[in-house]
Amino acid sequence: MIDKVYCADVKPEMEGKKIKLAGWVYRKRAVGKKVFIVLRDSSGVIQVIFKKERGDAYKEAKDVGIESSIIIEGTVKADPRAPTGVEIEAESIEVVQNVDFFPITKDASEEFLLDVRHLHLHSPKVGAIMKVKATLMQAAREWLLQDGWYEVFPPILVTGAVEGGSTLFKLKYFDKTAYLSQSAQLYLEAAIFGLEKVWSLTPSFRAEKSRTRRHLTEFWHLELEGAWMDLWDILKVEEELVSYMVQRALELRRSEIETFRKDFTTLKNAVPPFPRISYDEAIDILQSKGVEIEWGEDMGADEERILTQEFEAPFFVYGYPKHIKAFYMKEDPEDPRKVLAADMLAPEGYGEIIGGSQREDDYNKLVQRILDEGMDPKDYEWYLDLRKYGSVPHSGFGLGLERLVAWVLKLDHVRWATLFPRTPSRLYP
Ligand code: 4AD
């Protein structure tokens, strides 16, 4: 590891100090007897000046290509005109690898950027998204730790569906068939009997051909499951967790967030309690706005987008009809047409970022739901066992991390919130 200073750590108070920096050539221009290189590293950028009188260093700097990797040594100069109030007068340059032509230019199309995603990751803007994503998860870990949740590590190779058979990725597992996990939920449900409050962060897979701005075939899924909690208890957990994540990101990543959005209102508004409306109310609102939807129909991205116009903060929709929701959700004892489920919707058109529910803990009802869905209870024997040996009321939820990032940064597609997006048409790079 070389002994270098990060761009963002160079301050005007360091005037006159000799330092070493290492990074990539972000911009370059030659004016008169000077070459100006904007050096980029993971922390930010700084302007480096090579004067002609430096001889070889000047010549090498003049010839170096955009995105070449370089190490420079020079002296810190405070300059109020420089964007960061400081610049470097270079004494030497070591070109670690020269790049003649970097394939990404200003007018690159989105599809091209995705084709060369491995190079797109050089971009400070992409870096800013990844920093915000990392900070959101760092915040989640902080909150989960102080609220007493255990992290667990569930399997990804599984034998059954959680969220419906039609979106399972099937694979050969020696002489058997296995699937890629859609959700860790069923395994988290098993884990609560020893640990009570558990969470995991795993990739989840959905073989969904939907080409919407909010679907990936592989996404990062933050899931929690808590024993002795009903639906209303778990909604409190959801709003406290999401609020902490968003407020912490605002505190630690303000400048990165500012790159993407100017208005912070909805983010600041993400403090408990989040508004709660019933599915019935949601349908009324949609109908009053001229949307053609009947009670019992599922809300898609379009309906959710219209609904979000009513709110300036994340909000919950609870009490969905049973037949549009998953088999494991608990039937509402006061209205058997419904389940004790709620989604959290992000404002500004984003819609669902969390799906959660109280779980059906009645053995017979659960078997019936499995049969109603056309599935075989034999495939869920171990899961059904959980209702026979010390069953307790319990609830949980799953948050799609890329969807949260997309809303926080107002991205136009969740694919920008992931390192190497996987969609129906994209498996490479
Ligand atoms: O609503 P979903 O399907 O719920 C579950 O998987 C539950 N078993 C979770 C649980 O209770 N433990 O998915 C949960 C969240 C969604 O709200 C969404 O944010 C995200 O996962 N998600 C996706 N994100 C990107 N691409 C997809 N194809 C997604 N499908 C779901």
SS3 labels along the chain:
CCCCCCHHHCCHHHCCCEEEEEEEEEEEEEECCEEEEEEEECCEEEEEEEEHHHCHHHHHHHHCCCCCEEEEEEEEEECCCCCCCEEEEEEEEEEEECCCCCCCCCCCCHHHHHHCHHHHCCCHHHHHHHHHHHHHHHHHHHHHHHCCCEECCCCCEECCCCCCHHHCCEEEECCEEEEECCCCHHHHHHHHHHHCEEEEEEEEECCCCCCCCCCCCEEEEEEEEEECCCHHHHHHHHHHHHHHHHHHHHHHCHHHHHHHCCCCHHHHCCCCCCCEEEHHHHHHHHHHCCCCCCCCCCCCHHHHHHHHCCCCCCEEEECCEHHHCCCCECEECCEEEEECEEEEEECCCCEEEEEEEEECCCHHHHHHHHHHCCCCHHHHHHHHHCCCCCCCCEEEEEEEHHHHHHHHCCCCCHHHHCCCCCECCECCC
pLDDT at 309: 97
> Which tens digits make up the pLDDT trace of 273-295?
999 999 999 999 999 999 999 99
Query: Which ligand 1 atom sits nearest the alpha carbon of residue 397?
Result: 11
Ligand 1 pocket: which of 185, 204, 229 to mutate (most atoms within 8 A of CB): 204
The reply to whether 107 falls in a domain is no
Q: Whose CA is nearest to atom 4 of ligand 1?
A: 355
Same domain, 234 and 335: yes
Tokens of 401: 């991390």
Number of domains in the chain: 2
Of the residues 66, 97, 128, the one at which a domain ends:
97
Same domain, 178 and 236: yes
Length of the chain: 429
Ligand 1 pocket: which of 166, 181, 183 to mutate (most atoms within 8 A of CB): 183
Same domain, 74 and 212: no
Same domain, 281 and 193: yes
CA–centroid distance, 44 to ligand 1, in Å, is: 34
Q: Where residue 60 sits, what CATH number does that domain have?
A: 2.40.50.140
The reply to whether 422 falls in a domain is no
> What average pLDDT score do residues 293-319 get?
98
Q: Where residue 234 sits, what CATH number does that domain have?
A: 3.30.930.10
Q: Whose CA is nearest to atom 18 of ligand 1?
A: 400
State what percent of residues in the chain have pLDDT above 70: 100
Q: Whose CA is nearest to atom 23 of ligand 1?
A: 400
Q: Directed axis angle between helix 124-146 and helix 231-252, to 10°?
A: 130
Of residues 54 and 139, more confidence is placed in 139
Same domain, 80 and 124: no
Tokens of 279: 């599915």
Same domain, 152 and 272: yes
> Which tens digits make up the pLDDT trace of 89-107?
999 999 999 999 999 999 9
The reply to whether 102 falls in a domain is no
The reply to whether 195 falls in a domain is yes
The reply to whether 287 falls in a domain is yes
Q: Are 141 and 401 within 8 A, CB to CB?
A: no
Same domain, 75 and 183: no
Of the residues 97, 131, 156, the one at which a domain ends:
97
Rounded Cα–Cα distance for residues 177 and 181 (Å): 13
Same domain, 217 and 346: yes
Which residue range is the domain that position 60 belongs to? 7-97
The reply to whether 246 falls in a domain is yes
Rounded Cα–Cα distance for residues 273 and 422 (Å): 34
Query: In angstroms, what CA-CA distances link 105 with 102, 116, 123?
Result: 7, 12, 11
Q: Which residues line ligand 1 (CB under 6 A)?
A: 162-163, 182-183, 185, 206, 208, 215-216, 219, 221, 223, 352-356, 396-400, 402-403, 414
The reply to whether 28 falls in a domain is yes
Rounded Cα–Cα distance for residues 126 and 122 (Å): 8
Of the residues 97, 126, 155, the one at which a domain ends:
97
Tokens of 211: 């080409």
The reply to whether 103 falls in a domain is no
> What average pLDDT score do residues 322-340 get?
97
Query: Which ligand 1 atom sits nearest the alpha carbon of residue 208?
Result: 28
Same domain, 182 and 74: no
Above 90 in pLDDT, residue 7? yes
CA–centroid distance, 398 to ligand 1, in Å, is: 6
Same domain, 350 and 273: yes
Mean pLDDT (the chain) is 97
Same domain, 281 and 141: yes
Query: Which ligand 1 atom sits nearest the alpha carbon of residue 328?
Result: 8
Above 80 in pLDDT, residue 268? yes
Query: Which ligand 1 atom sits nearest the alpha carbon of residue 184?
Result: 12
Residue type, 41: D
Same domain, 11 and 147: no
pLDDT at 331: 97
